Structure 1
Amino acid sequence: MTATTDERYEKIKEIVCEILELEEDEVTETSLFREDHGADSLRAIEILASLEKEFKITIDQSELSRMVNLKGVTEVVAESAAAK
């Protein structure tokens, strides 16, 4: 069974908020992790690793440049899942 887009989005948001230590209402689809929420590159790697584990996918580290907000992360996860 694959997660629906909404379920995937909610899980991604949950993971991001947990790693960035934020409440879910603090993060919007377009709020920037580094600029708006003070995330550093280590947090970005943590997010990437958690997403790979949760969704059983592989995300190339070159995709980190796109993973700056929930919208970007969701797109990268969807593409990685589709390519699996």
Structure 2
Amino acid sequence: MVEVFSGSYFEAMNVRNLLEGNEISVFAQNEYMSNIEPWAVTSGGLNPVKLQVNESDKEASRTIIEDYLKGNNNLETEDK
């Protein structure tokens, strides 16, 4: 597994939904700590939520995340 995103719980879950919507399996590290101790789990905090994907999905994930960070939040996918 490789880390492809690190940030606040809210933003990490947005990215996770985009990845899973494109059939990419995602593991979220620190997801539960963000609910127990949210002040410590922020984009620059002690324990940000980290999203990890399989090595084979790394490039596709990074492309999706780059589009998201540029403001392209289109959830519709092309027919595969």
TM-score range, shorter chain: 0.3 to 0.5
Q: TM-score, normalised by structure 2?
A: 0.38
Q: Which has the higher helix share?
A: 1
Q: TM-score, normalised by structure 1?
A: 0.37
Give the number of the structure with larger relative contact order, counting CA–CA contacts within 8 Å between residues 6 or more apart: 2
More strand per residue: 1 or 2? 2
